[in-house]
A = this chain, B = another copy of it.
Amino acid sequence: MSLLVVGSIALDSVRTPFGQTADALGGSAVFFSVAGAVLHRVQVVGVIGSDYPKAELERLAKMGCGIDLAGVSQVAGESFRWKGKYSYDLQNRETLDTRLGVFADFHPKIPDAFRAARYVFLGNIDPELQLGVLDQVRAPKLVACDTMNYWIHSKRDVLLELLRHIDILMVNDAEARELSGDWNIYRAARWVLAHGPKKVVIKQGEHGALLAENASVFKVPGYPLEEVFDPTGAGDAFAGGFLAHLARTDDVSEANLRRAMVYGAVMGSFAVEAFGVQRFERVTVQDVEGRARAFHALVWFDLTTAAP
């Protein structure tokens, strides 16, 4: 089934204790699609400036199941640039510079060929633009959506309107807390479920992620990694794995959503093992399935013979 992502396409300059990158390919739509494309073809809508290394993007687009760049428009001006620095333990990051460039005037126009998309991910952009995307897609089976603290504060009403039109809100724990005004993550999840989405996914960094529905909670842990190089994009890679698995199976049952959480966590764990999108240049479907099985071994237990 067709899978569409709308989000940022950026040039990231990232410094961690283990090295740095300058103007490396990044942005929510890029991390989503390089991770997702390992499992399923991804259609991308975004904007790049005249200075963007388009050949590099086109090279990435040929990997795995492929990325369809027909919705990426190149316009005159500078590309979106983000510059950030992580603390020694990678637990905190500081934004050193954000230059919106052509992203400031981004108005997603969904190509005709993409309007039939059945699975849609709205990356973290202005919620007005996210709503605008929903007006252009015909009959999506499932829409998931990310946001960030900036929109939670500056466009709260629009964001609340958006929540009434999506199936899954997919945010990190800090965003869930800010949106709901509740520091307890399970109450925050319940708050989200009371505002529209039937499901909410809350990403918790190295501690994994949770999927909450009214009747149940599912948790996938973080993968045990002794070396983490760059957390940038892990959340979008998670979203890419999650939605690509749903799109490739076209099954939104609870059992399959749980599997999608695992594939999301698998992609998030690959994302942090190298700078930017580099790790995905050598991830195969076999690698993904192997790590998914490792996740199973990581949490597996059997209570049936537990009684004394």
Interface residues of A (CB under 8 A from B): 88-89, 183-184, 186-187, 190, 204, 207-208, 210, 216-221, 224-228, 245, 248-249, 255-256, 258-259, 261-263, 289, 292-293, 296-303, 305-306, 308
A183-B88, A224-B217, A228-B184 known; A301+B190 contact, CB < 8 A: no
Which residues from B are CB-within-8-Å of A186?
224-226
The smallest beta-carbon distance between A1 and chain B, in angstroms, is: 10
- Interface class of chain A by DSSP: mixed
Q: For the A-B complex with A256-B306, A259-B301, A262-B301 known, give 6 more contacts whose Cβ atoms are closer than 8 Å.
A: A204-B207, A218-B298, A221-B299, A292-B303, A292-B306, A296-B303
Docked complex Cα distance between A248 and B307 (Å): 9
Which residues from B are CB-within-8-Å of A263?
306
- A299–B224 CB distance below 8 A: no
Identical chains in the assembly:
2
Docked complex Cα distance between A210 and B299 (Å): 10
- A255–B219 CB distance below 8 A: no
Which residues from B are CB-within-8-Å of A258?
300-302
Please pick, from B293, B297, B305, the residue contacting A216 in the complex, using a CB distance under 8 A. B297
- B299–A219 CB distance below 8 A: yes
Docked complex Cα distance between A220 and B56 (Å): 41
- A217–B308 CB distance below 8 A: no
Which residues from B are CB-within-8-Å of A226?
184, 186-187, 190
Chain B residue at smallest Cβ distance from A216? B297
- A303–B262 CB distance below 8 A: yes
A186-B224, A190-B226, A306-B249 known; A301+B255 contact, CB < 8 A: yes
The smallest beta-carbon distance between A125 and chain B, in angstroms, is: 29
Which residues from B are CB-within-8-Å of A262?
301, 303
Please pick, from B89, B183, B210, B221, the residue contacting A219 in the complex, using a CB distance under 8 A. B221
The contact sample of 19 A-B pairs, CB cut-off 8 A, is: A88-B183, A184-B226, A184-B228, A190-B226, A207-B207, A210-B224, A218-B298, A220-B299, A221-B221, A221-B299, A245-B306, A248-B308, A249-B306, A255-B301, A255-B302, A258-B301, A259-B303, A293-B303, A296-B301
- A259–B306 CB distance below 8 A: yes
- B255–A299 CB distance below 8 A: no
- A217–B298 CB distance below 8 A: yes
Docked complex Cα distance between A256 and B261 (Å): 27
- A308–B259 CB distance below 8 A: no
Which residues from B are CB-within-8-Å of A217?
224, 298
Chain B residue at smallest Cβ distance from A253? B305
The smallest beta-carbon distance between A245 and chain B, in angstroms, is: 7
Chain B residue at smallest Cβ distance from A245? B306
Docked complex Cα distance between A298 and B216 (Å): 8
Chain B residue at smallest Cβ distance from A247? B308
Docked complex Cα distance between A259 and B292 (Å): 22
